[in-house]
Amino acid sequence: MIDVRDLSENPDAYRGSQRARGADASVVDAIIAADAARRNAITTYEALRAEQNAYGRKVAQAKGAEKQALLAEVKELSGRVKSTSAQAEAAAAAQDALVRGMANLIADGVPEGGEDDFVVLRTVGTPRDFTAEGFTPKDHLEIGELIGAIDMERGAKVSGSRFYFLKGVGARLELALLQLAMDQAIDAGFVPMITPTLVRPETMAGTGFDVKHDAEIYRLAEDDLYLVGTSEVALAGYHGDEILDFSNGPLRYAGWSSCYRREAGSHGKDTRGIIRVHQFNKVEMFTYTTVEEAAAEHQRLLAWEEEMLAKVELPYRVIDTAAGDLGQSASRKFDCEAWVPTQDAYRELTSTSNCTTYQARRLNIRERATAETGVKEGKGATRAVATLNGTLATTRWIVAILEHHQNPDGSVNVPAALRKYVGGLEVFPVL
C-alpha cells in the first residue's frame, strides 16, 4: 500500500510511476480527492460531536420547557452525528479501496514498458556450443525420462495436465538444490523456515495479491484459505501487526515450501516438461529492513542468487525488469535467467524484488522511530519497514541443469557443488 502523505506531497512522481507501468495515472488525483473528502468528513463529524457534548452539558442544567426544547435539538443533532459518522466511514473506505488497488511507486531508473522492455545488466558464462561438440542437445524432458528423473505421463494421470512426478535422481536433484540453497542461506545469516502453504485472505491481500481477481491463485472456498504461489506470502505475514527491532541488522528468513499456481492464461505455453507447472518447490529469501537499507539489501539478495547459479555452473544473464512487468508490490525487480539450450533462449530461474514499505503498510509492520531514521514525530512513534524477497532455488532449475550438463548419450554430469547431496554421484546415468 502506497504512502498517501507522500503521494499528496509528490503527485507527479506517482503519476509518472503509473504511466511507466502502463497503468491509469488518474488514480493519483482520485486518491488525493478521496483523502480530502475523508478529512473533511472527519472534521465535520468531530465538530458535530463537540457540539453534541456541549448540548449534553446544557441539557443537564436546564429545566422544564427549556429542557424539552434542548432534548429535541439533541435528538436532531444526534441524527446528524450518526449521518456524518457514516459519511466519514464511507469516505475512508472509498479511499482505502483506491489506495489498495494502486501499485507501488517504482524506483528511479526502472525501465519503462512491458515484458519485452527489460534491460540486460550483465551476462555471465557462455552457453555450450553443442554443434562444435558434435551432437544435438536433448530437451530436459527427454533427458529426464532417459535417466528416470521425470514422469509427466503419470503426473497427468494422477492430477491432470502440468503435474508431474520427480523420481529417482530427479527427486534427489531437487532435494539437493533446495538443501544447497538452504545451507547457503544459513551461512549468510538467514533463519531457515518451513512455512505454511495455506494462508488467510488478509495475509494474501496484505502481500499485494488481488485475492478477488487474480486467476493465478488457488482458493479453498470452504475454509476461505489460499494456496500460496511463494513462501514470500507466509513470511510477509509472519510479523504482521508487530513492531520490529533492527538494532542487530535486518531480519532475514529463508522459507522452504511447496508453491501452487494456476498458470491461467498460459494455455499452449511451455506445455512440455516442468518449466510451467501448477506445483513446485522453492527456497525463498525474505528480508525485513529499514527504508534506508532496502536498496543495498536488494543488491545483496541478487548477489546471493548469482552465487547459487555459479555453484550449479549455469550461464545466465541479469535483467532489470521493466515497470509494466513488475508485480503490484514491487518497486524494482531483478531476474536471473539461465540459458536453456533447446529453447535457444534465456529463461527466468530467480527474481528478487524490493517492495519498499508497500507490503508492510498493508500488514501493519513497523519499527520504532528514532533520531537516526529522521522521523520528527513524538515519542513512541513508529514507521513502516521495508520488505524484500528473492528466489534461491526452485524446481525449474532442473530444466537448465539437465540440458546444460548433458552428455551425448543423455546422461548428465552433476555439478560439483551438488555431489555431496546426492551420495557423491558425479553422473546421472541413462537407465
User: Which residues are known catalytic residues?
Assistant: 261, 276, 348, 351, 396
Residue 331, exposed/middle/buried by CB under 10 A (0-12, 13-18, 19+)? buried
Query: Coil, strand, or helix at residue 400?
Result: helix
Phi, psi of 327 (to 5 degrees): -70, 165
Q: Report the C-alpha gap between 390 and 283 in whole angstroms.
A: 9
292-306 burial, b for 16+ CB within 10 Å, e for fewer?
Answer: ebbbebbebbbebbb
User: Which of 290, 282, 288, 278 is CA-nearest to residue 237?
Assistant: 288
User: What amino acid occupies position 196?
Assistant: P
Q: What is the DSSP string of 291-330?
A: TTTHHHHHHHHHHHHHHHHHHTT--EEEEE--GGGS-TT-
Alpha helix stretches (DSSP H) within 164-278: 169-187, 201-207, 232-238
Alpha helix stretches (DSSP H) within 188-291: 201-207, 232-238
What are 187's three cell numbers?
Answer: 551461512
Element (H, E) at 412: strand 412-413
Furthest-apart CA pair in the chain: how many Å? 109
